Structure 1
Amino acid sequence: MGTMSRGVVFVHSTPAALCPHIEWGMGAVLGTPVHLAWSQQPAERGTLRAEYSWVGPAGTSAPLASALRSCQRVRFEVTEDASAADQGQRYAFTPELGIFHATTGPHGDIQVSEHRLRTAMNTAQASGITLPEALAELLGEPWDAELEVFRFAGEDTPVRWLHRVG
């Protein structure tokens, strides 16, 4: 068996009709049935939210994001923790912006390669946007801005306690 990894799927908002499809898609990727604890999403009337901690082979975040993306009307984030053998991953999706992907370090910070920085500089120059605008896109700031209101924990959202480190 290869390197194992872990991460979290945050379904920030979805119509109720898509909930079974989301659970089925995640279960197909993880190889086990997935049943999410859905709660109301106060930021968008008529939608639900859930989160799920997963464990699987390194690289599982990509097929999870792909399975969720196929639902189109869902807003989500998928994270995969960095390990000694592999960098972490972060995917974010909104119907308006599409998919965002970044490699993350051991503390969750986005890692940007020299190639991606050079591409951002060239894109800024060629398209007439400023370098800070190109870098903001590279860091996923438009996705963070759109998802922030959905990340807020409502009164009926379960509290997730962080484990003590050290």
Structure 2
Amino acid sequence: MSVVMAHGVLFIHSAPSALCPHIEWAIGSVVEKRTDLKWTPQPAAPGMLRTELEWTGPQGTGSLLASALRGWAHLRYEVTEDQSPGADGSRWCHTPELGIFHAATDVHGNIMVSEDRIRYAYENGAGDPSAVYHELSLALGEAWDDELEPFRYAGDGANVRWLHQVG
């Protein structure tokens, strides 16, 4: 049986410097190779560092990375796993205050909310539009996006990924 490979990106948005070697060891144990990450200062949290890693591995590597990093105090991160044959994409977000969030994503990275989750929002809302809005906000991970957004902009000296329009 052949292994279906997946691709994704791990973003460590903020980590204390003392935790960086442990993070590299945890990541290396998942991707089964040594990682020499380039850590840069995180302007949104003075004294913290940030890095990112593009990874390739068997389907499910994204969830293994998210699990390996879960629970460390003061660590903010995101893991993406692109769609691959037979599997939706995924996104995991973690903040010290909110814990972990997971969502399935489409080929463009949009969060997909299941029919059951939407039905739950309607039923739990019981006719109260603000309650339905709250439930859908949770399903979309808006609180995690709000908290992580300042950390996504790395500032001077960080890697920049230029996107080019084709066609």
- Which residue is 1:160 aligned to? 161
Distance 1:138 1:60 in 2: 23
Shift of 1:120: 2.6
Distance 1:124 1:29 in 2: 40
Residue type at the aligned position of 2:96 = P
% identical aligned pairs: 52
The residue matched to 1:130 in structure 2 has which SS?
helix
Residue type at the aligned position of 1:35 = D
Would the alpha carbon gap of residues 42 and 122 (structure 1) be closer, same or farther in structure 2, given more than 3 Å must change? same
Correspondences of 1:1-166 after superposition (within 5 Å):
1-125=2-126, 130-162=131-163
Shift of 1:59: 1.1
Distance 1:47 1:86 in 2: 35
Distance 1:110 1:71 in 2: 25
Gaps of 5+ in 2: none
Distance 1:163 1:26 in 2: 30
Gaps of 5+ in 1: none
Distance 1:68 1:21 in 2: 10
The number of residues matched between the two structures is 166
Cα RMSD for the two superposed structures = 2.0
Would the alpha carbon gap of residues 105 and 19 (structure 1) be closer, same or farther in structure 2, given more than 3 Å must change? same
Contact 1:83 1:106 in 2 (8 A): no
**TM norm structure 2:** 0.92
**TM norm structure 1:** 0.92
